[in-house]
Amino acid sequence: MANLKEIRTRIASVASTKKITSAMKMVSAAKFKKAQTNVLRFRPFNYQINKILQSSIEFIGLLSSDYVKERQQVNNFVLIVITSNNSMCGAFNSNIIKYSIEQYKFLSTSYPSAKISFYTLGKKGYDALSRRGLNVIELNHKLLDKPNIENTRDIFNILVNEFKNGSADKIFLIYNIFKSAASQQQVAEQLLPINISRTTNKTNTVKPIIEPDPQVLVERILPYYLLNKIHSAILESVAAEHGARMTAMHQATENAVALHNQLLLEYNKARQAAITKEILEIVSGANALSSK
């Protein structure tokens, strides 16, 4: 059994850790609330853009937009990986990095001669993928601190230019979808070229009046669709990150409390044993003196 000084040192260390994790939990809870509000407010708007695009595309023929053109030869892939800038958020970063590597291996097997590049949004993703010797390009990590649509537009312009000039034949978004504070889902979605499926059942479908025509409307919506898709992925990932960190700090605080209580019990047992030993020594000394 450890001596009393060692136990007291450990108790003080655990108490200090508990204060830190408890403070980080409160900070993460405040950030999580704001991020959750942002993503829940943006979801209906994003849903309506998708709904308008989906309903309009049913009434036009072949789309001629550059955003939807499939390349006959796919030689360049771009994987946009969204992680976090900071750690201490449980398995949030490790899960999405592991998922990204799985997607990379799948594409490498399916397209052996293709070049695969990573565009990372988040320091943790950049550091982890760079250590593996992969082709990694760093985006503006500060965007994750205060997401807004104007900063997202800069990323949108970079990706669209890469696609239009032929540097990227397919672009995928890889990120965590926010489910709850304790639950995230890793997804890989094709960003470019845009893949919009048409419904096969058109029974009793009333053609809406669209001016000047559905073709023009769809071509106007496509850039907004892409921009919203990128921004939605960022908001989802940020909310998932703060939720994961809040949950991790809550668990760490509970573990610190349990360890603190265990050390107190161990300290009291050691102190009781020391007192009992001292009493026995005193009694033994007294008995020895009285027997003389």
Q: What is the DSSP letter of 208?
A: P
137-141 long-range contacts (CB < 8 A, ≥24 apart) are: 139/80, 141/85
Q: Does 282 qualify as catalytic in the annotation? A: no
User: Is the dihedral angle over the CA atoms 122, 24, 147, 53 positive or is it negative?
Assistant: positive
Q: In what order do the strands lie in the sheet with 76-82?
A: 136-138, 115-121, 76-82, 170-180, 183-192
Length reported for the chain:
292
Q: In terms of DSSP H, where are the helices of 62-170?
A: 92-110, 123-131, 149-164
Q: Contact 145/35 with Cβ under 8 angstroms?
A: no
Among candidate residues 89, 191, 235, 248, the one labeled active-site is 89
Strands (E), 7-114: 76-82
Enzyme catalytic residues = 89
